[in-house]
Amino acid sequence: MKRFHIHLCVENLEKSIAFYSNLFAAGPTRQEADYAKWMLEDPRVNFAISTHGTAAGIEHLGFQTDDETELAEMKARAKVANLSLHDEGDTTCCYARSDKYWITDPQGIPWEHFRTLGNVPMFSDMRTSAICHTGESPAAQTLDTSLSAKSTCC
């Protein structure tokens, strides 16, 4: 089963954690000095916030899958639809190791499709995650479409 993913860039992490914890009636499932994530079941969403963007607002959207078959099916649909995609494969970003790829919608919003493989103790490993390293959606780079360095990571 898929889980909708939303990542927002926030200006004040502490105030945002308080706001979203009240909104969701639950505290974050993961919290770091620069990042927080809620894995909600109703609605089924992976909601993340961080201070890593260049401006407050939507960082990126996406779908998190529970297994590699779902991720492969989504990737196959993107290829059949002739969508440009950037396949990062096994990468480290947002305190997690993931198998992921990126596509960009017509407005330039990056969409991350991924499967989490495990937790890691750092926000990103610059050697493995193109989006964490460049600050721009790899799909946007592939499409030669600038996102004004809007995206940073999952």
Structure confidence at residue 153 as a pLDDT band (50, 70, 90): low
**pTM for this entry:** 0.76
Mean pLDDT of 67-95: 89
Tokens representing 87 are 């396949």
Residue 29 confidence (pLDDT): 97
Residue 126 confidence (pLDDT): 55
Kindly list the structural domains of the chain, giving each domain's residue range(s) and its CATH number in brackets, ordered by start. 3-143 (3.10.180.10)
Q: Give the whole-angstrom CA distance, residue 13 versus residue 51.
A: 7
Mean pLDDT of 85-106: 88
Mean pLDDT of 111-127: 78
Residue 83 confidence (pLDDT): 86
Mean pLDDT of 27-56: 95
